[in-house]
Amino acid sequence: MLNGPDGIISVSPVITIHLATGNAHKVQEMQALAVASALPLNIVAAAGMPPVTEDTGTFTGNARKKAAALKAVLPPDVWVLADDSGLCVDALDGAPGVESAYYAGPAGDSAANLAKLVAVMRAVPPGRRGAHFACVLVLLGPGGTEQVFEGRSPGTLRVEPAGGLGFGYDPLFVPEGFDRTYAELSATEKNKASHRGRAWLALAEWWRLTVIME
């Protein structure tokens, strides 16, 4: 809601952003972040998302590749957002990193990825269980607009998973400042501490200054 000419209050129109993912959890998180930021945005899952091989070796490159693939099959005036994120473990020299979604192999799923990490890290002592989640958001819009936003959440890994919320590696990761895993935090708590939440804060600030103020 903005002050218009002659002091008249106008309401910003709701803008739809197409998220380049088939992951319903990510769509829910992004929509919750938009609501928490009081931005007039409707986050929707990609319809007909083209297959993308995430082979750039970086979070930014993978996110940009996914965003461009979706943008190419949608009308030119729409907004597209792509996320690439992963868990980087200190004791594993940053692995699984950009390969977080495929850590257990091409045929693996989230449960297999988590189980592999638990097994690989089981003998690692508490003082060496540092890790961080990283997230890169690439936003593409009308007229060739491209913006990149990054967020990071440092923390540690438990020996055994805990919690039934979230997804992926959430049951193993305890963010800095908490004594519970991502999977034990409420959505509100997680969004404030998470890598994706921090990347979104940067996006929200840019959106207010650039899109809403136009």
C-alpha distances (whole Å) from 158 to each of 61, 73, 168, 171 are 30, 42, 14, 8
Residue whose token pair is 């030119």 = 76
84 is catalytic: yes
What is the per-residue burial (b if ≥16 Cβ within 10 Å, else e) of 114-134? Answer: beebbeebeebeeeebbbbbb
Active-site residue among 84, 90, 109, 170?
A: 84
Long-range contacts, stretch 155-160, CB < 8 angstroms, 24+ apart = 155/130, 155/131, 156/126, 156/129, 156/130, 156/131, 157/89, 157/117, 157/121, 157/129, 157/130, 157/131, 158/129, 159/118, 159/121, 159/122, 160/118
Residues identified as active-site: 84
